[in-house]
Structure 1
Amino acid sequence: MSSVDETQTELDAAIAEGYARRDRDDMAPTIEYFTELLARYPDHPQAIYEVGGAYDTAGDEQRARGFYERALTAGLQGDTRRRCLLQYGSTLRNLGLFDESIAILREARSDYPDSDSVRVFLALSLHAASRSDAAVAELLSLAADRIHSPDIDRYEPALRGNADYLRDLDAAAQERTPQ
């Protein structure tokens, strides 16, 4: 096993331990734990991300934002990158930065088209930005893509048609809105 693989294995074990100890009602020890882990792995994008996630869970979105940006810049990859983009987009929404949130979540949706959670959080950000037509369109498309039952399957074309109609309404409204 290479030293890179050993480092990743050690880091993965340490992250799992941090999650096992986490108390969502008292995040201070978790923040301290992941901050200490980051000191041991100062340039590792996953360690940076975990500190951001701990601050985010604690409700300190402004601090989380900086760690998410650092982790992405440091080259976060794979499913951890997907989770970071989702959490970063959600954090931006919570900070009232709706356009930035939507842009990040659209990037995540493009890069991870099978992620249902990214699509749901994109709908939340669209709704927060007073773009309810686009939000409902996203959820209708998600339902048509993921909910399979005789009842839903029968109406799948109608769901998709309504989603397209709502997207068109949103696009027209965006064209009329001064930038």
Structure 2
Amino acid sequence: MADHDEKDARLAEAVALRARGEKEEARRRLVALAAAHPDDAETAYQTAWAHDVLGLEAEAVPYYERSLAGTGLTPEDRRGALLGLGSTYRVLGRYEDAVTLLSGAVEEFPDDGALRAFLAMAHYNTGRNHEAVALLLRLLAATSEDASVRAYRPAIEHYAADLDALG
């Protein structure tokens, strides 16, 4: 139990460092912590995030993958890991991997607009422009506070279902 408490304290310290802008020191500590606790999903997730914020996307991937393969992430952290890995795949040009991962994430978290937005970007990168625009139109219709968008919500949703429809 003491080892678990120590790991949690070290993890909290590293996350606080990242939040204060000490990103490289946070990454260094998290890499060491992840090496000491290779089966800890939360540590892997925080380590992935530490790499991502430094623009070290390729280095973040194995930590994201480890975090998602493990157990123990809160639903919010799982959602964050899915978004982070999907976005990272896209940035690295792994567009099909991004679409596959983000599609599953949208099924798991259907009310998350950020996941749908990143899935739309991945669809765009794969040349699935119709799917990308339709997804963004549905997201716009569902979430916009703009009065003019709300007034045309039924029409926007109709055309999102069939962008080639004429009426």
Which runs of 5 or more residues in structure 2 are unaligned? none
* C-alpha contact (below 8 Å) 1:31/1:55 kept by paired residues: yes
> How many residue pairs align between the two structures?
164
* C-alpha contact (below 8 Å) 2:14/2:29 kept by paired residues: yes
* C-alpha contact (below 8 Å) 2:7/2:33 kept by paired residues: no
The amino acid across from 1:70 in the alignment is R
1:56 — aligned with what?
52
Which runs of 5 or more residues in structure 1 are unaligned? 170-179
Q: Which runs of 4+ in 1 moved over 3 A?
A: 6-10, 13-17, 23-27, 39-42
* C-alpha contact (below 8 Å) 2:15/2:46 kept by paired residues: no
1:36 pairs, out of 32, 38, 44, with: 32
Q: CA deviation at 1:154?
A: 1.8
1:177 — aligned with what?
none
In structure 2, C-alpha distance between the alignment counterparts of 1:92 and 1:162, rounded to whole Å: 30
2:63 — aligned with what?
67
Indicate how the Cα distance of structure 1 residues 106 and 58 shifts in structure 2: closer, same or farther if over 3 A, else same: same
Indicate how the Cα distance of structure 1 residues 24 and 122 shifts in structure 2: closer, same or farther if over 3 A, else same: farther
Q: CA deviation at 1:51?
A: 0.9
SS in structure 1 opposite 2:162? helix
1:117 pairs, out of 93, 102, 114, with: 114
TM-score (norm 2): 0.83
TM-score (norm 1): 0.78
RMSD over aligned CA atoms reads 2.8
Indicate how the Cα distance of structure 1 residues 145 and 95 shifts in structure 2: closer, same or farther if over 3 A, else same: same
Identity %: 32
